[in-house]
Structure 1
Amino acid sequence: MKPACTTATAADGFYRQKNRYFAVVSTVRPFPSVLFPGRNPGENAEPEFFRDLNLDQIVDAVTAGRDEYDLRPFFYAPSADCAEVRYRHEVLRDVRREDVRACVDEFARRMREVRKQQETSGKLHYEKQKQRWFLDAVESYCATVASLRAQLGECELSSPALRGLREFLSGYLRSEEYLALVADTRRCREDLARIKYRVHIRGLRVDVRRYTGESDYTDEVEKVFARFKQGAARDYRVQFREDADMDHVQAQVLDCVAKLFPDAFQRLRDFCARHRGYLDPTVARFDREVQFYLAYLDHMRRIEVSGLAFCYPELSPDSRDIEVADAFDLALAGKLVSERVPVVRNSFRLTGDERVIVVSGPNNGGKTTFARMFGQLPYLAGLGLPVPAASARMFLPDRVFSHFEREEHLATLRGKLDDELVRIREILAKATGGSILVLNESFASTTLHDARFIGARVLEAVLRLGACAVYVTFVDELAALDEAVVSMVGAVAPEDPAERTYEITRRPADGIAYAEAIAAKYGLSYDTLRRRIAR
Structure 2
Amino acid sequence: MKTFLMHPDRDFDPRSPSPRESLPSAQDIELEVLLNAAAGGDRYFHDTMAAACAQAWDNDIETIRYRQEVLKDCLAVPALVRKFYDIAIEPFGRERSWSFSLYDRDAGQKVASGVRTLQSCLDVLERLRKTCAANADRFASRGFRQFFATLEKNLDDDWLGAARTDLTNLSFRVGLLLSAQVGGGGKAVGTVLRKPQRSDLSWMHRMISPAARSYTLQLHPRDDAGAQAFAELQNRGLVLISDAIYQSAEHVLGFLRTLRSELAFYLGCVNLKEQLDRIGEAVTFPEPQAEPNRFRCRNLRDTCLALTMEQRVIGNDIDADGKPLVIITGANRGGKSTFLRSVGLAQLMQQCGMFVTADAFGASLRSGLHTHYKREEDRSMRSGKFDEELVRMSGIADVMRRRALVLFNESFAATHEREGSEIARQIVRALLENDVTVFFVSHMYAFARSFLDDERALFLRAERDESGARSFRLIEAPPLPKSFGTDIFRRIFETPEAADARS
How many Å separate the matches in 1 of 2:11 and 2:137?
31
Q: 1:74 aligns with which of 45, 52, 59?
A: 52
Q: Does 1:487 align with 2:459?
A: yes
How many Å separate the matches in 2 of 1:182 and 1:323?
57
Q: Does 1:333 align with 2:306?
A: yes
Change (3 A) 1:185 1:87: same
Q: CA deviation at 1:525?
A: 1.5
Match for 1:148: what amino acid? Answer: T
Q: Does 1:343 align with 2:321?
A: no
Q: CA deviation at 1:176?
A: 7.2
Q: 1:52 maps to which residue?
A: 28
Match for 1:107: what amino acid? Answer: F
Q: Does 1:467 align with 2:436?
A: yes
> Could you tell me whether the CA contact under 8 Å between 2:2 and 2:11 is conserved in 1?
no
Cα deviation digits, residues 358-381 of structure 1 (max 9, x gap)? 111222222111111111111111
Q: Does 1:93 align with 2:72?
A: yes
Change (3 A) 1:377 1:342: closer
CA RMSD for the aligned pairs?
3.7
Cα deviation digits, residues 212-241 of structure 1 (max 9, x gap)? xxxxxxxxxxxxxxxxxxxxxxxxxxxxxx
Q: CA deviation at 1:477?
A: 3.9
Cα deviation digits, residues 218-277 of structure 1 (max 9, x gap)? xxxxxxxxxxxxxxxxxxxxxxxxxxxxxxxxxxxxxxxxxxxxxxxxxxxxxxx98965
How many Å separate the matches in 2 of 1:534 and 1:313?
47
TM-score, normalisation: structure 2: 0.71
Q: 1:161 aligns with which of 123, 143, 148?
A: 143
Match for 2:24: what amino acid? Answer: E
Change (3 A) 1:505 1:64: same
Q: CA deviation at 1:322?
A: 0.8
> Could you tell me whether the CA contact under 8 Å between 1:313 and 1:392 is conserved in 2?
yes
Q: 1:151 maps to which residue?
A: 134
Q: 1:22 maps to which residue?
A: none
Cα deviation digits, residues 77-121 of structure 1 (max 9, x gap)? 1034111111111211222333xx443222223344554475467
Q: 1:308 aligns with which of 271, 278, 281?
A: 281
How many Å separate the matches in 1 of 2:436 and 2:276?
31
Match for 2:75: what amino acid? Answer: R
Match for 2:27: what amino acid? Answer: R
Q: CA deviation at 1:175?
A: 7.8
TM-score, normalisation: structure 1: 0.67
Quick check: 467-476 or 420-429, which moved more? Answer: 420-429
How many Å separate the matches in 1 of 2:379 and 2:157?
62
For 1:178-197, list aligned pairs within 5 A: 178-182=160-164
How many Å separate the matches in 2 of 1:358 and 1:312?
26
Q: 2:209 maps to which residue?
A: none
Cα deviation digits, residues 153-204 of structure 1 (max 9, x gap)? 343x43221111111101221387633454578999xx9xxxxxxxxxxxxx
Q: 2:368 maps to which residue?
A: 399
Q: Does 1:64 align with 2:47?
A: no
Matched residue SS, 1:96: helix
Q: 1:10 maps to which residue?
A: none
Unmatched segments (≥5 aa) in structure 2: 100-108, 174-244
Unmatched segments (≥5 aa) in structure 1: 1-29, 192-272
Match for 1:483: what amino acid? Answer: E
> Could you tell me whether the CA contact under 8 Å between 2:89 and 2:260 is conserved in 1?
no
How many Å separate the matches in 1 of 2:395 and 2:92?
46
Matched residue SS, 1:501: strand
> Could you tell me whether the CA contact under 8 Å between 2:448 and 2:479 is conserved in 1?
yes
Change (3 A) 1:40 1:478: farther
How many Å separate the matches in 2 of 1:450 and 1:282?
57
How many Å separate the matches in 2 of 1:113 and 1:89?
27
Matched residue SS, 2:353: coil
> Could you tell me whether the CA contact under 8 Å between 1:31 and 1:164 is conserved in 2?
no
Q: 2:479 maps to which residue?
A: 509
How many Å separate the matches in 2 of 1:106 and 1:441?
48
> Could you tell me whether the CA contact under 8 Å between 1:428 and 1:462 is conserved in 2?
no
Change (3 A) 1:41 1:511: farther
How many Å separate the matches in 1 of 2:145 and 2:25?
36
Change (3 A) 1:176 1:422: farther
Change (3 A) 1:284 1:175: farther
Change (3 A) 1:399 1:93: same
Q: CA deviation at 1:443?
A: 1.4
Aligned-pair identity in percent equals 21
